[in-house]
Structure 1
Amino acid sequence: MSSPITTGTVCPSVTCPTGYSKLDDQRISPNCYSFGGRNIARTWHSADAVCTSTNGAHLLVPDSQDEMEALRKKFGIGDNDGDVWTGANDLRSSGNFMFKVNNKMFNFNALPFGVENESDMRGSCVEIDLNSDGVWGWEADDCADLEFYVCELPVVCNAGLIG
Protein backbone atom coordinates (compact mmCIF):
# COMPACT_ATOMS: atom_id res chain seq x y z
CA MET A 1 0.00 0.00 0.00
CA SER A 2 1.30 3.45 -0.88
CA SER A 3 1.98 6.07 1.74
CA PRO A 4 -0.65 8.66 2.55
CA ILE A 5 -1.03 11.63 0.27
CA THR A 6 0.59 14.94 0.86
CA THR A 7 -1.57 17.98 1.43
CA GLY A 8 -2.60 19.61 -1.80
CA THR A 9 -3.39 16.48 -3.84
CA VAL A 10 -6.83 16.62 -5.45
CA CYS A 11 -8.61 14.00 -7.59
CA PRO A 12 -11.62 15.92 -8.86
CA SER A 13 -12.70 13.28 -11.39
CA VAL A 14 -13.26 10.59 -8.75
CA THR A 15 -16.88 10.04 -7.75
CA CYS A 16 -17.66 8.68 -4.30
CA PRO A 17 -20.04 5.72 -3.95
CA THR A 18 -23.58 6.26 -2.68
CA GLY A 19 -23.55 7.38 0.95
CA TYR A 20 -20.00 8.73 0.74
CA SER A 21 -18.86 12.28 0.04
CA LYS A 22 -15.66 14.27 -0.22
CA LEU A 23 -14.48 16.95 2.17
CA ASP A 24 -15.28 20.52 1.18
CA ASP A 25 -11.51 21.18 0.92
CA GLN A 26 -10.06 18.20 -0.94
CA ARG A 27 -6.51 19.48 -0.43
CA ILE A 28 -6.85 18.19 3.14
CA SER A 29 -7.77 14.72 1.86
CA PRO A 30 -9.11 13.48 -1.48
CA ASN A 31 -10.75 10.47 0.22
CA CYS A 32 -14.47 9.75 0.44
CA TYR A 33 -16.15 9.66 3.87
CA SER A 34 -19.44 8.37 5.24
CA PHE A 35 -20.81 9.32 8.65
CA GLY A 36 -23.02 6.72 10.34
CA GLY A 37 -25.32 9.45 11.65
CA ARG A 38 -26.07 11.42 14.82
CA ASN A 39 -28.58 8.81 15.99
CA ILE A 40 -26.61 5.70 15.09
CA ALA A 41 -23.98 4.58 17.55
CA ARG A 42 -22.40 1.16 17.13
CA THR A 43 -19.87 -1.09 18.79
CA TRP A 44 -16.40 -0.97 17.22
CA HIS A 45 -16.90 -4.37 15.54
CA SER A 46 -20.32 -3.40 14.17
CA ALA A 47 -19.01 -0.05 12.85
CA ASP A 48 -16.02 -1.84 11.30
CA ALA A 49 -18.39 -4.30 9.56
CA VAL A 50 -20.49 -1.44 8.16
CA CYS A 51 -17.39 0.31 6.81
CA THR A 52 -15.77 -2.77 5.29
CA SER A 53 -19.04 -3.70 3.56
CA THR A 54 -18.05 -1.03 1.01
CA ASN A 55 -15.15 -2.41 -1.01
CA GLY A 56 -11.90 -0.69 0.06
CA ALA A 57 -13.44 1.30 2.92
CA HIS A 58 -12.43 1.11 6.58
CA LEU A 59 -12.99 2.86 9.90
CA LEU A 60 -11.51 6.34 10.05
CA VAL A 61 -7.72 6.72 10.22
CA PRO A 62 -7.33 10.36 11.35
CA ASP A 63 -4.11 11.70 9.82
CA SER A 64 -4.27 15.35 10.83
CA GLN A 65 -6.10 17.92 12.87
CA ASP A 66 -7.13 19.59 9.60
CA GLU A 67 -8.82 16.36 8.50
CA MET A 68 -10.70 16.06 11.82
CA GLU A 69 -11.78 19.71 11.70
CA ALA A 70 -13.03 19.24 8.13
CA LEU A 71 -14.98 16.13 9.21
CA ARG A 72 -16.34 18.04 12.20
CA LYS A 73 -17.51 20.85 9.94
CA LYS A 74 -19.02 18.46 7.38
CA PHE A 75 -20.74 15.98 9.71
CA GLY A 76 -20.85 17.72 13.10
CA ILE A 77 -18.75 14.97 14.69
CA GLY A 78 -16.87 15.70 17.87
CA ASP A 79 -19.41 18.26 19.00
CA ASN A 80 -21.32 17.70 22.24
CA ASP A 81 -18.85 15.11 23.52
CA GLY A 82 -19.55 12.75 20.62
CA ASP A 83 -16.88 10.05 20.56
CA VAL A 84 -15.97 8.61 17.16
CA TRP A 85 -14.36 5.22 16.59
CA THR A 86 -11.07 5.08 14.72
CA GLY A 87 -9.65 2.00 13.04
CA ALA A 88 -7.00 1.58 15.76
CA ASN A 89 -7.14 -1.24 18.28
CA ASP A 90 -4.96 -3.68 20.23
CA LEU A 91 -7.06 -6.76 19.55
CA ARG A 92 -4.11 -8.77 18.17
CA SER A 93 -1.74 -8.03 21.03
CA SER A 94 -2.77 -6.29 24.25
CA GLY A 95 -1.11 -2.90 24.63
CA ASN A 96 0.18 -2.85 21.02
CA PHE A 97 -2.24 -0.59 19.17
CA MET A 98 -2.36 -0.54 15.38
CA PHE A 99 -4.72 0.49 12.61
CA LYS A 100 -6.56 -2.56 11.28
CA VAL A 101 -6.52 -1.39 7.65
CA ASN A 102 -2.73 -1.24 7.26
CA ASN A 103 -1.23 -2.64 10.49
CA LYS A 104 0.43 0.76 11.06
CA MET A 105 1.39 1.17 14.71
CA PHE A 106 -0.58 3.66 16.78
CA ASN A 107 1.24 5.05 19.79
CA PHE A 108 -0.46 7.08 22.50
CA ASN A 109 2.96 8.59 23.28
CA ALA A 110 3.39 9.86 19.70
CA LEU A 111 -0.07 11.00 18.59
CA PRO A 112 -0.40 12.54 15.11
CA PHE A 113 -2.21 15.47 16.82
CA GLY A 114 -4.27 16.15 19.93
CA VAL A 115 -3.85 14.67 23.40
CA GLU A 116 -4.40 11.43 25.23
CA ASN A 117 -7.69 11.75 27.13
CA GLU A 118 -6.93 9.17 29.80
CA SER A 119 -3.65 7.72 30.98
CA ASP A 120 -5.20 4.46 32.23
CA MET A 121 -6.44 2.95 29.00
CA ARG A 122 -9.29 0.61 29.85
CA GLY A 123 -10.10 -0.79 26.45
CA SER A 124 -8.90 -2.23 23.22
CA CYS A 125 -10.48 0.06 20.59
CA VAL A 126 -9.46 3.68 20.01
CA GLU A 127 -11.85 6.60 19.77
CA ILE A 128 -11.37 10.31 19.29
CA ASP A 129 -13.44 13.26 20.46
CA LEU A 130 -13.24 17.00 20.89
CA ASN A 131 -12.66 17.64 24.58
CA SER A 132 -13.99 20.61 26.57
CA ASP A 133 -10.78 22.56 25.83
CA GLY A 134 -11.41 22.29 22.08
CA VAL A 135 -8.56 19.79 21.64
CA TRP A 136 -8.95 16.42 19.93
CA GLY A 137 -8.50 13.70 22.52
CA TRP A 138 -7.71 10.03 21.97
CA GLU A 139 -8.53 7.14 24.28
CA ALA A 140 -8.93 3.39 24.30
CA ASP A 141 -12.37 2.20 25.32
CA ASP A 142 -14.20 -1.07 25.48
CA CYS A 143 -14.95 -2.22 21.92
CA ALA A 144 -18.52 -3.03 23.04
CA ASP A 145 -19.23 0.65 23.84
CA LEU A 146 -21.65 2.37 21.48
CA GLU A 147 -19.98 5.29 19.66
CA PHE A 148 -20.40 7.23 16.43
CA TYR A 149 -18.30 6.24 13.45
CA VAL A 150 -16.96 7.53 10.16
CA CYS A 151 -16.00 5.26 7.28
CA GLU A 152 -13.11 6.33 5.04
CA LEU A 153 -12.66 5.21 1.46
CA PRO A 154 -9.20 5.91 0.02
CA VAL A 155 -9.34 7.47 -3.42
CA VAL A 156 -7.47 6.03 -6.38
CA CYS A 157 -6.17 8.62 -8.87
CA ASN A 158 -4.29 8.24 -12.13
CA ALA A 159 -1.04 7.90 -10.21
CA GLY A 160 -2.44 5.02 -8.13
CA LEU A 161 -3.60 4.76 -4.53
CA ILE A 162 -3.00 8.04 -2.75
CA GLY A 163 -5.13 7.93 0.38
Structure 2
Amino acid sequence: MKFLILLPILFASILPSEEFKRFVGSSDAGKTDPMLWMIINQLQTFQTKFTNLEHKIETKSTKQLDKLGKQLRDLEIKLMTNNKTITDLKNDINIIKKGMQERCSPGWKQFNKHCYMFRYDRLTWQQAKHECENYKAHLVKIETSKENRWIGNEITISASSSHGQLWTGLNDLSSEGHFTWVLDKSSFGFSNWKRGEPNNGSGVEDCGSIHTNCQSTWNDAPCAYKTGYICEK
Protein backbone atom coordinates (compact mmCIF):
# COMPACT_ATOMS: atom_id res chain seq x y z
CA MET A 1 0.00 0.00 0.00
CA LYS A 2 2.81 2.36 0.85
CA PHE A 3 4.44 1.50 -2.45
CA LEU A 4 1.31 2.46 -4.38
CA ILE A 5 1.25 5.87 -2.64
CA LEU A 6 4.93 6.58 -3.22
CA LEU A 7 4.95 5.31 -6.80
CA PRO A 8 3.03 8.28 -8.34
CA ILE A 9 5.33 10.74 -6.57
CA LEU A 10 8.44 8.88 -7.71
CA PHE A 11 7.11 8.58 -11.23
CA ALA A 12 6.21 12.28 -11.42
CA SER A 13 9.69 13.26 -10.27
CA ILE A 14 11.60 11.12 -12.84
CA LEU A 15 9.32 11.20 -15.89
CA PRO A 16 10.21 14.04 -18.35
CA SER A 17 7.28 16.33 -19.01
CA GLU A 18 7.23 15.95 -22.80
CA GLU A 19 7.42 12.17 -22.59
CA PHE A 20 4.71 12.30 -19.92
CA LYS A 21 2.45 14.23 -22.27
CA ARG A 22 3.10 11.92 -25.26
CA PHE A 23 2.44 8.83 -23.18
CA VAL A 24 -0.81 10.10 -21.74
CA GLY A 25 -1.95 11.41 -25.13
CA SER A 26 -1.26 8.12 -26.89
CA SER A 27 -4.34 6.02 -27.71
CA ASP A 28 -2.30 2.90 -27.02
CA ALA A 29 -1.04 4.03 -23.62
CA GLY A 30 -3.60 2.02 -21.72
CA LYS A 31 -2.77 -1.07 -23.75
CA THR A 32 0.98 -0.73 -23.44
CA ASP A 33 1.03 -0.42 -19.64
CA PRO A 34 -2.45 -0.30 -18.03
CA MET A 35 -1.11 0.04 -14.52
CA LEU A 36 1.14 2.98 -15.36
CA TRP A 37 -1.59 4.61 -17.41
CA MET A 38 -4.02 4.36 -14.46
CA ILE A 39 -1.46 5.87 -12.08
CA ILE A 40 -0.78 8.73 -14.46
CA ASN A 41 -4.49 9.48 -14.76
CA GLN A 42 -4.80 9.50 -11.00
CA LEU A 43 -1.89 11.94 -10.83
CA GLN A 44 -3.62 14.21 -13.32
CA THR A 45 -6.80 14.06 -11.26
CA PHE A 46 -4.87 14.90 -8.10
CA GLN A 47 -3.12 17.76 -9.88
CA THR A 48 -6.44 19.16 -11.10
CA LYS A 49 -7.94 18.91 -7.62
CA PHE A 50 -4.86 20.52 -6.12
CA THR A 51 -5.02 23.39 -8.64
CA ASN A 52 -8.71 23.92 -7.89
CA LEU A 53 -8.04 23.84 -4.15
CA GLU A 54 -5.20 26.32 -4.53
CA HIS A 55 -7.48 28.62 -6.54
CA LYS A 56 -10.22 28.36 -3.88
CA ILE A 57 -7.72 29.18 -1.11
CA GLU A 58 -6.39 32.15 -3.07
CA THR A 59 -9.92 33.40 -3.80
CA LYS A 60 -10.95 32.98 -0.15
CA SER A 61 -7.80 34.71 1.07
CA THR A 62 -8.44 37.61 -1.30
CA LYS A 63 -12.02 37.94 -0.07
CA GLN A 64 -10.88 37.80 3.56
CA LEU A 65 -8.23 40.45 2.90
CA ASP A 66 -10.84 42.65 1.22
CA LYS A 67 -13.15 42.14 4.19
CA LEU A 68 -10.38 42.96 6.66
CA GLY A 69 -9.45 46.01 4.61
CA LYS A 70 -13.02 47.28 4.72
CA GLN A 71 -13.19 46.67 8.48
CA LEU A 72 -9.94 48.58 8.90
CA ARG A 73 -11.26 51.52 6.88
CA ASP A 74 -14.47 51.51 8.95
CA LEU A 75 -12.42 51.54 12.16
CA GLU A 76 -10.32 54.45 10.86
CA ILE A 77 -13.49 56.41 10.08
CA LYS A 78 -14.92 55.65 13.54
CA LEU A 79 -11.61 56.66 15.15
CA MET A 80 -11.58 59.98 13.29
CA THR A 81 -15.20 60.58 14.30
CA ASN A 82 -14.45 59.72 17.94
CA ASN A 83 -11.38 61.97 17.95
CA LYS A 84 -13.50 64.86 16.68
CA THR A 85 -16.12 64.12 19.34
CA ILE A 86 -13.43 64.05 22.06
CA THR A 87 -11.98 67.34 20.78
CA ASP A 88 -15.44 68.94 20.78
CA LEU A 89 -16.05 67.69 24.34
CA LYS A 90 -12.71 69.11 25.50
CA ASN A 91 -13.59 72.47 23.95
CA ASP A 92 -17.00 72.41 25.66
CA ILE A 93 -15.35 71.59 29.00
CA ASN A 94 -12.87 74.46 28.58
CA ILE A 95 -15.72 76.86 27.79
CA ILE A 96 -17.64 75.68 30.87
CA LYS A 97 -14.53 76.00 33.05
CA LYS A 98 -13.88 79.49 31.73
CA GLY A 99 -17.49 80.44 32.40
CA MET A 100 -17.24 79.07 35.92
CA GLN A 101 -14.02 80.99 36.53
CA GLU A 102 -15.60 84.22 35.29
CA ARG A 103 -18.65 83.69 37.46
CA CYS A 104 -18.31 84.77 41.07
CA SER A 105 -19.02 82.41 43.96
CA PRO A 106 -22.06 82.99 46.20
CA GLY A 107 -21.46 85.96 48.49
CA TRP A 108 -19.24 87.68 45.92
CA LYS A 109 -20.18 90.40 43.43
CA GLN A 110 -18.75 90.76 39.96
CA PHE A 111 -17.33 93.86 38.30
CA ASN A 112 -15.10 93.95 35.22
CA LYS A 113 -14.14 90.24 35.47
CA HIS A 114 -13.19 90.56 39.14
CA CYS A 115 -15.07 89.32 42.18
CA TYR A 116 -15.60 91.40 45.34
CA MET A 117 -16.81 90.50 48.80
CA PHE A 118 -18.01 93.21 51.20
CA ARG A 119 -17.57 92.21 54.85
CA TYR A 120 -18.91 94.27 57.74
CA ASP A 121 -17.51 92.38 60.72
CA ARG A 122 -14.99 94.61 62.46
CA LEU A 123 -11.33 93.57 62.09
CA THR A 124 -7.95 95.29 62.16
CA TRP A 125 -6.25 95.86 58.81
CA GLN A 126 -3.91 92.89 59.34
CA GLN A 127 -6.81 90.65 60.38
CA ALA A 128 -8.79 91.72 57.33
CA LYS A 129 -5.78 91.01 55.10
CA HIS A 130 -5.47 87.47 56.46
CA GLU A 131 -9.22 86.90 56.20
CA CYS A 132 -9.15 87.81 52.49
CA GLU A 133 -6.17 85.50 51.99
CA ASN A 134 -8.20 82.67 53.52
CA TYR A 135 -10.59 83.14 50.59
CA LYS A 136 -7.61 83.09 48.19
CA ALA A 137 -8.21 86.79 47.62
CA HIS A 138 -6.65 90.10 48.70
CA LEU A 139 -7.74 93.41 50.16
CA VAL A 140 -9.25 95.40 47.32
CA LYS A 141 -7.04 97.24 44.83
CA ILE A 142 -8.95 100.18 43.30
CA GLU A 143 -7.55 101.16 39.92
CA THR A 144 -10.13 103.39 38.20
CA SER A 145 -12.76 105.99 39.07
CA LYS A 146 -15.40 103.70 37.56
CA GLU A 147 -14.39 100.88 39.91
CA ASN A 148 -14.35 103.30 42.85
CA ARG A 149 -17.90 104.49 42.04
CA TRP A 150 -19.13 100.91 41.66
CA ILE A 151 -17.70 99.98 45.07
CA GLY A 152 -19.36 103.01 46.63
CA ASN A 153 -22.72 102.00 45.14
CA GLU A 154 -22.36 98.42 46.36
CA ILE A 155 -21.77 99.39 50.00
CA THR A 156 -25.05 98.70 51.80
CA ILE A 157 -27.09 101.42 53.48
CA SER A 158 -26.74 99.71 56.87
CA ALA A 159 -22.98 99.61 56.44
CA SER A 160 -22.89 103.28 55.55
CA SER A 161 -24.64 104.18 58.79
CA SER A 162 -22.66 101.81 61.05
CA HIS A 163 -19.18 101.92 59.42
CA GLY A 164 -17.40 105.15 58.64
CA GLN A 165 -14.93 103.34 56.40
CA LEU A 166 -13.90 99.91 55.02
CA TRP A 167 -10.36 98.60 54.70
CA THR A 168 -8.67 98.52 51.27
CA GLY A 169 -5.26 97.13 50.30
CA LEU A 170 -3.49 100.52 50.50
CA ASN A 171 -0.75 100.95 53.12
CA ASP A 172 2.59 102.70 53.71
CA LEU A 173 3.91 100.21 56.25
CA SER A 174 7.15 99.68 54.30
CA SER A 175 7.91 103.34 53.69
CA GLU A 176 6.12 106.22 55.41
CA GLY A 177 4.23 108.40 52.95
CA HIS A 178 4.70 105.95 50.06
CA PHE A 179 1.40 104.11 49.76
CA THR A 180 1.29 100.85 47.79
CA TRP A 181 -1.26 98.11 47.20
CA VAL A 182 -0.81 94.97 49.29
CA LEU A 183 -1.57 92.76 46.25
CA ASP A 184 1.54 93.56 44.21
CA LYS A 185 3.36 96.36 46.08
CA SER A 186 2.53 98.73 43.21
CA SER A 187 1.94 102.45 43.68
CA PHE A 188 -1.51 103.80 42.93
CA GLY A 189 -2.27 105.52 39.65
CA PHE A 190 -5.85 106.59 40.24
CA SER A 191 -6.62 108.00 43.71
CA ASN A 192 -9.61 109.52 45.48
CA TRP A 193 -8.16 110.80 48.75
CA LYS A 194 -10.37 112.97 50.90
CA ARG A 195 -9.10 116.54 51.05
CA GLY A 196 -6.22 116.73 53.50
CA GLU A 197 -5.58 112.99 53.35
CA PRO A 198 -3.41 111.06 53.81
CA ASN A 199 -2.16 112.99 56.85
CA ASN A 200 -0.69 110.25 59.11
CA GLY A 201 -2.70 111.57 62.04
CA SER A 202 -0.90 111.10 65.38
CA GLY A 203 1.89 109.46 63.38
CA VAL A 204 0.18 106.06 63.31
CA GLU A 205 -2.09 106.11 60.25
CA ASP A 206 -0.47 103.62 57.88
CA CYS A 207 -3.43 101.71 56.40
CA GLY A 208 -5.80 102.87 53.69
CA SER A 209 -9.59 102.74 53.73
CA ILE A 210 -12.55 103.93 51.68
CA HIS A 211 -15.25 106.07 53.28
CA THR A 212 -18.78 104.71 53.20
CA ASN A 213 -20.12 108.15 52.28
CA CYS A 214 -21.57 108.90 48.89
CA GLN A 215 -18.25 110.24 47.58
CA SER A 216 -16.32 107.04 48.41
CA THR A 217 -13.26 109.05 49.32
CA TRP A 218 -10.08 107.50 50.72
CA ASN A 219 -8.49 107.89 54.13
CA ASP A 220 -5.42 106.72 56.04
CA ALA A 221 -6.23 105.27 59.46
CA PRO A 222 -4.46 103.44 62.29
CA CYS A 223 -4.00 99.78 61.24
CA ALA A 224 -5.23 98.65 64.67
CA TYR A 225 -8.60 100.32 64.09
CA LYS A 226 -11.37 97.74 63.65
CA THR A 227 -13.88 98.11 60.83
CA GLY A 228 -15.26 96.30 57.80
CA TYR A 229 -13.23 95.44 54.69
CA ILE A 230 -13.45 94.58 51.00
CA CYS A 231 -11.82 91.48 49.46
CA GLU A 232 -11.10 91.10 45.72
CA LYS A 233 -10.04 88.22 43.48
TM-score by length of 1: 0.67
Instruction: Write the deviation string for residues 108-163 of structure 1: whole angstroms up to 9, x where unpaired.
Output: xxx624333434222110111155xx43322211000012111001xxxxxxxxxx
Q: Residue 100 in 1 paired to residue 179 in 2?
A: no
Q: 1:22 aligns with which of 88, 110, 121?
A: 110
1:115 equivalent in alignment to 2:193: yes
Q: Report percent identity of matched pairs.
A: 26
Residue in 2 aligned with 1:45? 126
With 111-120 and 61-70 compared, the bigger mean Cα shift is at: 111-120
The CA distance in 1 between the partners of 2:212 and 2:218, in whole Å, is 9
Give yes or no for contact 1:113–1:136 (8 Å, CA) kept in 2: no
What is the distance in 1 between the residues matched to 2:150 and 2:176?
Answer: 32
Map 1:64-103 → 2, pairs under 5 A: 64-76=144-156, 79-80=160-161, 82-103=164-185
Give me the whole-angstrom Cα distance separating, in 2, the residues matched to 1:42 and 1:144. Answer: 8
Gaps of at least 5 residues in structure 1 are 1-10, 24-28, 154-163
Partners of 1:96 and 1:115 in 2: how far apart? 14
Task: Say how many residue pairs are matched.
Answer: 129
Letter in 2 for 1:112: F
Bigger relative contact order (CA 8 A; separation at least 6): 1
Distance 1:117 1:148 in 2: 22
Q: CA RMSD in A?
A: 2.4
**Residues of 2 paired with 1:130 and 1:83: CA distance?**
5
Structure 1 residues 117 and 126: alpha-carbon distance in aligned structure 2, compared to 1, 3 A threshold = farther
Take 1:126 and 1:140, find their aligned partners in 2: how far apart are those partners? 5
Greater share of residues in strand: 1
For 1:146 and 1:60, the matched residues in 2 are separated by: 17
Q: Distance in 1 between matches of 2:193 and 2:171?
A: 17
- Gaps in structure 2 of 5+ consecutive residues: 1-97
Amino acid at match of 1:121: N
Q: Which runs of 4+ in 1 moved over 6 A?
A: none
Q: Partners in 2 of 1:144 and 1:99 — Cα distance? A: 18
The 8 Å contact of residues 35 and 75 in structure 1, kept in 2 or not, is answered as yes
Q: 1:141 to 1:116 in 2, by over 3 A?
A: same
